[in-house]
């Protein structure tokens, strides 16, 4: 797939040495790293940081380094970054992005910017969808099979991704993929089952109906819906449901699936949403063969079982992997590979009560990779509150 070779950004960089760090300036951003890494080229940027490719002199591998500046400037964002850092160390699956290193700050410097090192991936599915690269049925089957393998592993750890979309699926030239961006992920356990989950998850076009309808409780099914939307997009080369608002998103869904039946409406517990849908003119569903440009019956059947209004009637990840659409790619040893040995523990979030606790928790994560880095962590204080943003920041010791 030639399209995955093309990345954004300039190859030009400027360097400056200072103490135990080298500063590289790439696309106007400074990357202060140790001598192990040599940043080369900007790959992309988002709400939380800038990503560059780099060479790892220890392994001779190409890696990606994500820099998040002023990580404690917004404590909500810092909490999401901490969650992602912990998740990326817990998850160990070829179709999920793994954290391989965190670069500590220079000696005597404040822990202010976070550097996350991961395997290098050439592109993402969003770029492929909007490229001129041909996507064959084999390509689509292989990519989506890997997506469901990654989801099965994630769900076996009792984690919902909550923001699955093409730009969060990284891809290489050989069509191998890794799901990334776990900052919005949440757990589904007995402890969290009664917690109201926010509807402000998942980019609108991939948002499941139960989330749009302000469901207080939802589960793995929202990831399955998003995967169905992505599968449709690979055929269409554009999103299937392109709503301009919450209400318009529902209307776009109903244009294809038809208005929900009386039985399906039982899953809508929000009175306002239920009232709105009840006032709509009844619409029949449209045959997916009319909407999706494929004659592959297995693809259309799979889509019909993924894109289901009532989450209780939606196909599970196990059922998706067992579907005939993936017969050519299914492997006997996938069952063991796709199961996480341990449920992810979100209880660390109970320790978060302000800036100091977040500084300590993120320092702990850096220390896991760099045990001799000199970062220190405050002794735990039960019931401590530290919401004062002007509290002293955690510094790296000048001795190691």
Q: Which residues are designated catalytic?
A: 163
Distance in angstroms (rounded) separating the CA atoms of residues 230 and 164: 9
Buried b (16+ CB within 10 A) or exposed e, 352-381: beebbbbbbbbbebbbeebeebbbeeeeee
Distance in angstroms (rounded) separating the CA atoms of residues 142 and 145: 5
Whether the CA torsion 190, 365, 53, 50 is positive or negative: it is: positive
Whether the CA torsion 336, 342, 346, 348 is positive or negative: it is: negative
β-sheet bridge partners, residue 65: 52, 117
Q: Which three-class secondary structure string do you get for the chain?
A: CHHHHCCCCCCCEEEEEECCEEEEEECCEEEEECCCEEEEEEEEECCCCEEEEEEECCCCEEEEEEEECCCCCCHHHHHHHHHHHHHHHHCCCCCECCCCEEECCCCCCECCCEEEEEECCCEEHHHHHCCCCCCCHHHHHHHHHHHHHHHHHHHHCCEECCCCCHHHEEECCCCCEEECCCCCCEECCCCCCCCCCCCCCCCHHHCCHHHHCCCCCCCCHHHHHHHHHHHHHHHHCCCCCCCCCHHHHHHHHHHHHCCCCCCHHHHCCCHHHHHHHHHCCCCCCCCHHHHCCCCCHHHHHHHHHHCCCCHHHCCCHHHHHCCHHHCCCCCCCHHHHCCCCCCCCCHHHHHCCEHHHHHHHHHHHHHHHCCCCCECCCCCCCCCCECCCCCCCCEECCCC
């Amino acid at each position: 797939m030639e399209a995955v070779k093309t990345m954004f950004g300039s190859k030009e960089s400027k360097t400056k040495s200072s103490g135990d760090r080298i500063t590289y300036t790439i696309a106007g951003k400074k990357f202060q790293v140790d001598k192990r890494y040599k940043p080369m080229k900007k790959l992309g940027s988002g709400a939380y940081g800038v990503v560059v490719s780099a060479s790892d002199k220890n392994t001779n591998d190409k890696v990606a380094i994500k820099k998040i500046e002023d990580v404690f400037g917004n404590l909500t964002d810092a909490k999401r970054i901490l969650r992602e850092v912990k998740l990326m160390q817990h998850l160990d699956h070829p179709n999920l992005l793994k954290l391989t290193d965190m670069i500590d700050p220079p000696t005597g410097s404040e822990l202010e910017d976070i550097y996350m090192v991961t395997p290098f991936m050439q592109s993402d599915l969003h770029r492929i969808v909007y490229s001129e690269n041909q996507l064959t049925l084999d390509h689509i089957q292989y990519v989506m099979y890997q997506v469901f393998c990654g989801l099965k592993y994630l769900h076996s750890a009792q984690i919902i991704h909550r923001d699955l979309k093409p730009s969060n699926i990284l891809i290489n030239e050989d069509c191998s993929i890794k799901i990334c961006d776990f900052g919005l992920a949440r757990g589904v356990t007995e402890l969290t089952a009664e917690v109201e989950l926010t509807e402000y998850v998942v980019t609108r076009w991939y948002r499941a109906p139960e989330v749009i309808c302000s469901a207080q409780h939802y589960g793995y099914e929202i990831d399955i819906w998003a995967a169905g939307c992505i599968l449709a997009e690979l055929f269409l080369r554009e999103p299937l449901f392109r709503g301009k608002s919450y209400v318009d998103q529902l209307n776009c869904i109903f244009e294809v699936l038809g208005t929900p039946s009386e039985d399906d409406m039982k899953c809508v517990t929000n009175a306002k949403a239920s009232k709105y849908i009840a006032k709509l003119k009844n619409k029949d569903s449209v045959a997916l063969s009319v909407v999706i440009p494929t004659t592959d019956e297995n693809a259309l059947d799979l889509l019909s079982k993924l894109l289901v209004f009532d989450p209780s009637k939606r196909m599970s990840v196990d059922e998706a992997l067992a579907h005939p659409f993936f017969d050519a790619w299914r492997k006997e040893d996938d069952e063991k590979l796709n199961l996480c040995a341990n449920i992810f523990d979100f209880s660390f979030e109970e320790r978060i009560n302000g800036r100091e606790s977040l500084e300590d928790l993120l320092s702990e994560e850096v220390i896991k990779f760099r045990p001799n880095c000199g970062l220190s962590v405050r002794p735990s204080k039960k019931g401590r509150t530290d919401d004062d943003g002007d509290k002293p920041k955690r510094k790296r010791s000048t001795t190691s």
